Structure 1
Amino acid sequence: MSGQTPNAAEGALSAGLPKPLDVGNGLVAGSFGGDGSWLSLGAPHPVHGFVEMLASPPFDEEQRGDPAAVRRYREQLTQERFAFLRLDLPDEQVPERRAVLDSEGRPVWHRSGRGWTCSVTAWALPGQSALAQRYVIEATPDVRAVLRFGGRLDRSALAEITEVNPPLPLDVHSDVEVSSGELTVTAPVLTTSARVAVHATAGRWVPDAGCAAQWEITAGDGEPVEITVTVSLAPPPWPGDGLRPTAPAPRITQADPPGTLEHIAAGAVRYVLGCTALDVGHGDRTILTDHRLLPLSWTRDAYYQALLLLCAAPDDHDVTDVVAGHLRWLWGRGRTPGAPWMRSHLPDGRPKDLAVQADQQLYPLLELADYRRVAGRWPIGPDGGDAAYEWGRLITEVWQGLPRDGHDGLLAGAENPADDPSELPFALSTQILYWHTASQLAPWSSELGLDSLQLEQTAQNLSGAIARAFTCEGPFGSQWAYETDGNGQHRLYHDANDLPTALAPTWGFCSPEDEHWIATMRFAFSPHNAGHVAGRFGGLGSAHTPGTWTLGDAQELAVARTMRDNARAKAVLERIGHVAGVDGLLPETYRADSGRWLARHWFAWPAAVFGILHFGITKGGRNVWRV
């Protein structure tokens, strides 16, 4: 089912949007085109990872491992011509379309044509696996509106730029049953169903060619016409969980306040609570990197999203409980005892990409320490026993299994934080993260029974070990290398994914006046660095994907604030303000000459980091970022 309609705009989005607008409630998440058309409605699945209603063509399995093919497929997912549900009205003035967020953070689209105007509002239904949309049409007599459906249920393709373990092909067929007021879509292979219900003053669903259907209504009798559509999704229940819990994720309802950082921070919180921190039964929550392209969990991405929630609402138990649910998932279903966390995991916790990255073994430890620091208590553990004893036992097991290889206790890794192969085994950002994690856990050592791990001593030893292993000469004097072999070989480079290096003074690893850190950061944002991107909208990028990276912009803002360089901080905010979407979200990369979005129209991590920089990373007291 293609989902195409005669009036569909070709290409990507209208309404001046760089990305679709998203709505979710922690149970389901969906995306909408620039005309309010439904691009997707998805949810975690206990067997198949993530399922969704959509109409875009399936990913060609023969093109696995082809980055260009993956990017083309991802672009398709943004295009209005592949909507599964849309309202068609005659002679629309497409350039006049507009989309905004209302005071509740709900997307609202304004459309118009000859003899009519239409406003469209979408929202999530609290406690239900459903989204709703209301169309209000004001028109001259006899304006014909047609609601068109043409969608299917499918498993997420999980098409990656750097494929490691692609999912096995799955032949999914959808059946559509049409009744007067409701469409029912079922996919027996997925044991999943969806329903499309319409409430309107007139009309009924009428079968169209294939598995499509349409609902026709005539407007223009002097009164506005209202049409409300509710689309629900029902994957099977999680094993042992019975009926799905009905409590949605909490949400912070607010209009975006003025200012670039405020706008991005509000959007990031909405997106995480609604679309990535998703319920997976038993009171657990996975945190996904996004809900459309890669609904998978990396401990790295998930950490910064969890920290965002702790920073945004440290005293709101409903919000901090989302992080507690993620910690239970992360250390329970999301981890195999005695084994490391893999590169990525499916929403049910099973490993997806079977590659090990050293830094991803640290983020779960750090998230737990941050939760204790902010919430003032330990969350209930995966086994539900004595929290301090259980967490102490789990931390000890993970800590003792960290990939130390004998070079001053440094952590070795075969992949770097960009998911690319390491050229040398020891990455600077991973060692700084290691030091920070030891430092953050140390205050709770006695409480958790961790004295034998000698966390304070480990942090002290790491400071000297990092200086010895990574110090080398660079274009601006003595600096730290990106990678080393521990025996005098260094690689000079800096990547947008390596946030710990930029955050080193904020975490207390070094002072803001440290000459090695300053030289390293000067190198990072200079043409001497292969990760530097030149242009009007240039900045820090990555060998992983071309373009200026928004994570690089976040690093530069952190560096500018640490150095108290207000002019530089202002310039970064102006650049990122030009790039940010109407919902405050950010891409992975954008063009250095124009600011146009290039890659990953859905990506929670960058906006989450900017939100952390806005809210501050300490609980109470002075916000170290807002000087």
Structure 2
Amino acid sequence: MNVAGRETSSPSRLSSGIIETYGKPLSFHLGREKPSKTIDIGNNGSSAALEPLGSILQLSTHHPDHGIVLASPYAQFDGSRFYDQRYVRSYRRHMLDSVRDGTPGFGLRFISPTEQVDINLRTANLATVTFPLAEGISVALSLRVESSGELVQSAVLSSAATSTVKVEYSLGLGISVNRASYGQLTEGGPIPIPRSENRFAVHGNGEFFSVVNPHLGARLEGCLEANGETIMVGHLRDQVTQGVPITSEAHDWIELEPGMEQTIVARFRLYPDVEIRGDFKPHLHHTGISANHQHLWFDGATLGTFIIRRNLEYILGCLAVPVSEHHVALMTDHVALPLGWNRDNYWQLWFILNVRRNLTSLVLPEAVQEYRKAIDRISQGHLMWVFRRAHRPHAFWHRSYLVDGKPKDGPTFQLDQQCYPLLELCDFYDNYPEKMELVQKILAEGVLTEVLELLWSKQDSSTGLFPTDETPGDDEVEYPFHFSSHVLLWFTLSRVAQLVQEAGPVPSLSVSTLQKRAQELKAAVLHHFVAPRQSDGQPIFAYLCDGNGNHRLYHDANDMPTLFAVKWDFIEAAGELGVWKNTMDWGLSPANDSGYFQGGPFGGLGSVHTPDPWALGYFQEFMYAHMIGDREAQSSAWRRIRAVMLFDGSFPEAVDAETGVITSKAWFNWPGCMIGSAFIPALKEKERIVVNDG
């Protein structure tokens, strides 16, 4: 279904209950049913998005000047249309459209008359697809991103035919080397895109080829092999295109005798420079096809474990970008917006640290060290990145960042974004007490005190509240004070006070002062944010206020601190609990007419930022129902969560309330982190979150 101006995809196959054992290969008949998104794999800062038959819709890597650069079969984003939301959504839809329409990307291509394909998500950097080509002929295509950044498509063709069969294949080279667009729905300041020019050339005697964008300072190199021998592509003509992909394709065939296997390998690597090197050494590539991390997990075939494993592997493979020996950036997604937000990054780290604490209950002993090492590298590397690499030209952290630490947006001040790095530091100390010396060095470097002093300078003297330019949904505020950001700030000050008490002292920052400020802030919030509910006059917490009696009543899927206000002990007294419950009951109902989207079986909490039900909204409903013991509401939320889950265990940003079709960002890691974390305590205690799937 296509909805004008939306990023749409076909409904989730999980709503039909087809998948009963999770983590096993998934079977699709592409003539009747398509996967809900791309196959996504990655390794060490390079990642790939692939269509169901294994051709490449995007290969991306880190570039020191541009953040993320990529090779894709699509023209570069139109740099004159950053503020055109319809165009931004349309551009983001490219890959979903290709999956839906069966449009191949670049790389190896085979014709599959039956359209039957099995997809196996084996590890963070490895997936396999298998499909028949003809009577008795099948192909097993291994797709792997190496630690070097090389993407390998290794196809093993097998014959069970009774006679020799000639198999034709092609190497599609419709490629454009671009910078990531960074196109946002709430644009905060575009970064101009370098001119799009693609120069295709064959090198040596046709041993390998390249696509160079000289204005970007990036290039793609590739080669083709069969049974360990280089396939020459010298017959392909050099060409230069402006603003569009090159158009080139190599065709070949291979003979399969009865019982024979043949191997065809295409290899690609994206480089952040233009110096042609041709590092390919022809060899029969070992695919590691037997690797499958599902078997390393206890209860690997259950849904909860599948969600945990796949969202962890998405972070490890596609979202964690080592930009130096000591710094690791984290992206929200690797396709639609390969940027880092402190908010999203905090919840991603919260999730992987939750996994780390419970590894012995989640994975077999031989896998514990492997996962722990990977999580430790990201946890420490991102802490170094956010405190030492992320630029703060105005003293505060900006809305979002390129992976190299440059702010993406202008000097827009978001209150909640200042809190998350400080909480990240507190969480790091709690999980790595042996790293006290590192924590003390960060405290002594003064970033924490600089940010806190900036916050004190912004505090409103008459109300004791703190203004923000935008909400956590990146939307401008009608009134300057935002409720959930104040809950988060109180929690942050309380945690920082504890950190300073244990790891300090910190010059000019006393524990008693932090505790006093937290207490005063809580009193101010409880005084100024309470407003009457429109339907019955019952008190609720307003979304925004001005401190002079004016309030905006609203609740948003982004406002996770409101949900956690009780868990964090911001809300304690009986009267406060009543106001909080009134707030959540109202916010998770159609009465919240700007944020709750009904009209069908997939209705739920969303955001004015993208006006549809959000997976994060379903999570809020699920957890709130769990907190208050409403099993019926919990089951209702769970049915929607399960129905919109994508085939690889991830979740979209938003869906259509009537159909469950993706309407925004098929690649969005935050919901999967929250939903996956809900299962971890249950798994630790060898229990299950029991819900009625209906």
* TM norm structure 2: 0.80
Find the counterpart in structure 1 of residue 349 from structure 2: 306
Which stretches in structure 1 are left out of the alignment for 5+ residues?
1-10, 238-250
| Percent identity (aligned) | 29
Alignment of 1:206-221 (within 5 A): 207-208=235-236, 210=239, 211=246, 212-221=248-257
- Tell me which residue corresponds to 2:196: 172
**Bigger shift: residues 587-596 or 144-153:** 144-153
Q: Please name the residue that 2:444 is paired with.
A: 390
The residue that corresponds to 2:140 in the other structure is 119
- Secondary structure, aligned partner of 1:547: strand
Structure 1 contact 268–608 (Cα < 8 Å) conserved: yes
| CA 1:337–1:343: 2 relative to 1, 3 Å | closer
Counterpart among 270, 290, 294 of residue 254 in structure 1 = 294
Report which stretch shifted further, 73-82 or 540-549: 73-82
Matched residue, 2:657: 592
- The residue number in structure 2 matching 1:247 is none
Matching of residue 456 in structure 1 with residue 456 in structure 2: no
> Contact conserved, 1:29 with 1:42, CA < 8 A, in 2?
yes
Is 1:38 aligned to 2:56, yes or no?
A: yes
SS at match of 1:225: strand
SS in 2 for 1:311: helix
Please name the residue that 1:185 is paired with.
211
CA distance in 2, matches of 1:195, 1:105: 20
Residue 43 of structure 1: CA displacement?
A: 1.2
Aligned to 2:126: 106
Match of 2:567 among 506, 510, 514: 506
CA contact 2:416–2:488 (8 Å) conserved in 1 = yes
In 1, the alpha carbon distance for the partners of 2:443 and 2:184 equals 39
| CA distance in 2: counterparts of 1:379 and 1:554, whole angstroms | 34
- Report the equivalent of 1:414: 469
The match for 1:205 among 227, 233, 239 is 233
2:585 counterpart of 1:528: no
Shift of 1:272: 0.9
The separation in 1 between residues aligned to 2:232 and 2:251, in whole angstroms, is: 5
Give the superposition deviation at 1:84: 4.2
Q: For residues 623 and 339 of structure 1, do their structure 2 counterparts lie closer, same or farther at Cα, with a shift above 3 Å needed?
A: farther
Partner of 1:481: 542
Give, in whole Å, the separation in 2 of the partners of 1:412 and 1:347.
Answer: 28
Residue 70 (1) aligns with residue 88 (2)? yes
- Counterpart contact for 1:252–1:269, Cα < 8 Å: no
Match of 1:334 in 2: 390
Give per-residue Cα distances to partners, 1:373-408, cap 9 Å, x unaligned.
112144776xxx9626525x3211111111322244
Number of residue equivalences: 596
Cα distance in 1 between the residues matched to 2:124 and 2:180:
29
The residue identity in structure 1 corresponding to 2:352 is L
Instruction: Describe the shift of the 1:440–1:624 C-alpha distance in structure 2 as closer, same or farther (beyond 3 A).
Output: farther
1:162 shift after superposition: 1.5
Matching of residue 349 in structure 1 with residue 405 in structure 2: yes
Equivalent of 1:556 in 614, 621, 640:
621
Tell me, in whole angstroms, the C-alpha distance in 2 between the residues paired with 1:165 and 1:624. Answer: 48
How many angstroms does 1:183 deviate by?
2.3
The 5-angstrom pairing of residues 281-320 of structure 1 reads 281-314=324-357, 316-320=372-376
- Structure 2: how far apart are the matches of 1:252 and 1:523? 45
2: CA distance, partners of 1:42 / 1:169: 16
Residue 512 of structure 1, CA deviation: 10
Q: 1:91 to 1:452 in 2, by over 3 A?
A: closer
1:234-281, Cα deviation, whole Å (9 max, x unpaired): 2159xxxxxxxxxxxxx9933583444332222211111111110101
- The residue type equivalent to 1:289 in the other structure is T
Q: Which residue of 1 is the match for residue 14 of structure 2?
A: none
- 2:425 match: 368
2:385 pairs with 1:322: no
Q: Partner amino acid for 2:256? A: G
Matched letter for residue 158 of structure 2: E
Confirm whether residue 137 of structure 1 aligns to residue 157 of structure 2: yes
CA RMSD of aligned residues (A): 2.9
1:548 maps to a residue whose letter is: P
Over 3 Å counting, the alpha-carbon distance change for 1:389 and 1:536 in structure 2 is closer
How far off is 1:207 after superposition?
4.3
Q: Do the aligned residues in 2 keep the contact of 1:76 with 1:82 (CA within 8 Å)?
A: no
Q: CA deviation at 1:587?
A: 0.8
Alignment pair present for 1:467 and 2:526: yes
Distance 2:685 2:516 in 1: 28
CA contact 2:79–2:192 (8 Å) conserved in 1: no
User: 1:196 and 2:217 equivalent?
Assistant: no
Is 2:272 aligned against 1:235? yes
Match of 1:444 in 2: 499
Q: Alpha carbons of 1:610 and 1:150: their partners in 2 closer, same or farther (altered >3 Å)?
A: same
Q: Does 1:226 align with 2:283?
A: no
Where 1:348 maps in the other structure, the secondary structure is coil
Any residues of structure 2 matched to 1:261-280 within 5 Å, and which? Answer: 261-280=304-323
Task: Determine helix, strand or coil for the equivalent of 1:497.
Answer: coil
Does the aligned pair in 2 maintain the 1:206–1:214 contact within 8 Å? no
* Distance change (3 Å), C-alpha of 1:525 and 1:496: same
**Alpha-carbon distance, 1:158 to partner:** 1.2
Distance 1:455 1:253 in 2: 45
Partner Cα distance (2:387, 2:200) in 1:
40
The question of 1:92 aligning with 2:93 is answered: no
C-alpha distance in structure 1 between counterparts of 2:688 and 2:169, whole Å: 51
Moved more, 301-310 or 493-502: 301-310
SS in 1 for 2:77: coil
SS in 1 for 2:408: strand
Displacement, 1:87?
Answer: 3.1
Aligned position for 2:187: 163
What CA deviation, in whole Å up to 9, does each residue of 1:580-602 have, x standing for no partner? 12211111111111211111121
Distance 2:83 2:127 in 1: 35
- Aligned equivalent of 2:483, options 428, 446, 450: 428
Q: Distance in 2 between matches of 1:418 and 1:252?
A: 37
- Point out the more displaced range, 144-153 or 412-421: 144-153
Pair 1:515-2:578 in alignment = yes
Q: Which moved more, 1:586-595 or 1:204-213?
A: 204-213
- In structure 1, what is the equivalent of residue 366 of structure 2? none
Letter in 1 for 2:44: G
Q: Does the C-alpha gap of structure 1 residues 224 and 473 become closer, same or farther in structure 2, counting only changes over 3 Å?
A: same
In structure 2, the residue matched to 1:243 is: none
